[in-house]
Every structure is written in structure tokens, then in C-alpha cells.
Amino acid sequence: MTTAESMGLAEASNAAIYATMVTLTIAMILFAASFASGRRPASAKAHVQVASGSGSVAVLDRPESKSANDPGRKLANVAMSLTWLATGLLTVALVLRGIWAGRVPWGNMYEFSISSAWGVLVVFLVMSLRRDLRWLGLFVVAPALLTLGLAVTVLYTEAAQLVPALKSYWLVIHVSAAIICAGAFTVAASSAALSLVQSRRERSGREWHGPMAQVPSAEKLQTFTSRIIAFAFPLWTFSVIAGAIWAENAWGRYWGWDPKETWALITWLVYAAYLHARSTAGWRGDKASWIAILGLVTFLINYFGVNIFVNSLHSYAGL
């Protein structure tokens, strides 16, 4: 490939990233407007009825749908479409970046960050195919946008080839699993945080008005969170094992307590604790939600903290 051609690809990739960010920003504003306007006249009582479900089959995930021509709902629908569009653009950006660099686009923190933002959006969109997640849109698009913003401003690097230690198909397996996990853990933490707010509101016993009225009950949010984590935890386990195999091939030991490895284990332990908490009386509710948030925090510490501040074998990932 000539230099001019390859510069064209890089610029196209960057342009696609900016287009993604613009689209996501509009989506976020619309989600926010929809969220703020969302008032459901339903009361807490209506919920009890659904849950008791006598004579009929109980409906779980979906909050009582608002009337179709509710303006907030329309905004959210547009925002959902824009999120799909933005994810498509981001996919293009990643593919172009990969073609330019001649490898998977996961060679440094910049590339891993945009891939993680992609992971967040994809996990959210895939889940939205089976249930109404418009209430969650704001809380997923915002972190994705933040990640992209950080990537283009602080972390941007020219694409380079991989250093030999990174050339392995275990890298592809290990990192692709980690990217999906990043997405799932983020969506889970958003929903856990919402469940904490919702649970406070429910305990206060006040009427169901205001933005949080369109959000499912705390218990449903907790269930939703735990489903995502039940999906992501085996994947994270797999990702850690793939990383260990890679490390064994590159450095001669599958586990060396390198800071990156240590924090991967810490994240793993926290999510294992979460799954246990969901089966332990007194821990299933808010406490479990806090653990889900803590899990994401440990993941982020591993990603930002260890890459930037700690002297680790993995620090070659280039800022």
C-alpha cells in the first residue's frame, strides 16, 4: 500500500470516529430529553398487580408502555435509531483502522478504547432487540461517548504494527472477549446504578412520577443486571484463561502476578462475589448492585490505572 493510500484510510477512520461522536451526541441529547419528559401516570400499585399475576401470565421486563404518541417516546425512538447508526459508523471506523494497520485494531489504548465503546453499544443494542431498553439509552450512550472522547483527545496514537509480543491469535481471542465484557460490565453497572436510585425511591414510598417512573422497578433492574453479569462472567473467565495461554506462550508462565493479571483476577473475584451475593439473603438487593458497580470500577482501574501508572509487562500498549 502506498503512503498516500494508507493516510487516506487513517483519515477516513478518524472521520468515521468523529461522525460517530456527533451522532452519539445527538442520540444522547434525545435520550436525555426523553428521559426527562418521561412521566408515567402509573402508580406503584399497578406494579403490584402485574407481579401477583393472578389468572394471567406475569409479564416481566417491560415497564407499562406509554401511549405510542407520547413525545418522550418518539424522541427515544429516534435516539435508538441514531445509536444504531453511530454503531455502524464506529464499526466502519474500526474496520478502516484495522485495514490501515494491517492487523486487528487492538494494538494500543486508543484502539482498545474505541473498541470498548463499540462493545458497550453492541451489547446494549443486541439486548434491546429482545426488550424495551429505551429507558437505559442515556446511561449507555453517555459512557460510550465519554470513552470515545477520551480516546480521541488523550489517547490518540498513530497506528503502529504490533510489537512481536502482541502478535498472536490468542491476542485476538483474549481481547475480543475482553471488549464484549467491557461492554456488558458497563451496561450492567448502569442498570445497577439505576436500581440503587429506584430502590431508594421505592423505599421512600412516594408517588411514581418524574423521570424514574419510566424505569422498571428496582427488583427488575437487579434481575436485569444479574442476567448481564451471568452472561459476561463466563466470558471474562474465558478471556482471562486465553490471556494466561498467551502469557505462557510469550513469557513462559501462564500466571506471573503481573499487575494487569492481578487486577484481572480482582475483577473476576468481585463478579464471583456478586453472583454469590445474589444467592445470599440480605445481599441480593442494593448490596449486590453496589458490587456490580465495584466490578466495573476494578475493570477500569485495570485498564487506565495499570496501563498508565504501574510498571507492568503489559504497559507496552502505548499511550
Q: Which residues sit at the interface with ligand HEM, rule CB under 6 A? A: 233, 272, 275-276, 279
Q: Which residues contact 46 (CB under 8 A, 6 or more apart)?
A: 64
How far apart are alpha carbons 223 and 201 in whole angstroms?
A: 18
SS (H, E, C) 285-312: CHHHHHHHHHHHHHHHHHHHHHHHHCCC
205 forms part of the interface with another protein (CB under 8 A) = no
192 forms part of the interface with another protein (CB under 8 A) = no
Residue with cell 475482553: 178
Cell numbers describing residue 204: 421512600
| Residue 39 binds which of ligand HEM, another protein, none (CB < 5-8 A, kind-dependent) | none
For residue 63, the tally of other CB atoms under 10 A from its CB is 21
Task: Name the residue number minimizing CB distance to ligand HEM.
Answer: 279
| Residue 8 binds which of another protein, ligand HEM, none (CB < 5-8 A, kind-dependent) | none
Q: Given the complex with ligand HEM, which of 39 and 284 has the nearer CB atom?
A: 284
| Residue 56 binds which of another protein, ligand HEM, none (CB < 5-8 A, kind-dependent) | another protein
| Residue 290 binds which of ligand HEM, another protein, none (CB < 5-8 A, kind-dependent) | none
> Could you tell me if 283 and 277 are in contact, meaning their C-beta atoms sit under 8 angstroms apart?
yes
258-279 burial by CB neighbour count: b if 16+ within 10 A, else e? bbbbbbbebbbebbebbeebbe
Q: Given the complex with another protein, which of 164 and 205 has the nearer CB atom?
A: 164
Q: Smallest gap, in angstroms, from Cβ of residue 222 to another protein?
A: 9
SS (H, E, C) 94-155: HHHHHHHHCCCCCCCHHHHHHHHHHHHHHHHHHHHCCCCCHHHHHHHHHHHHHHHHHHHHCC
298 forms part of the interface with another protein (CB under 8 A) = yes
Q: Smallest gap, in angstroms, from Cβ of residue 89 to another protein?
A: 24
Q: Given the complex with ligand HEM, which of 156 and 231 has the nearer CB atom?
A: 231
290 forms part of the interface with another protein (CB under 8 A) = no
Residues near another protein (CB under 8 A) are 53-60, 158-161, 163-165, 167-168, 223, 226-227, 230-231, 233-234, 237-238, 241, 244-245, 248-259, 262-263, 265-266, 269-270, 272-273, 276-284, 298, 306, 310-311
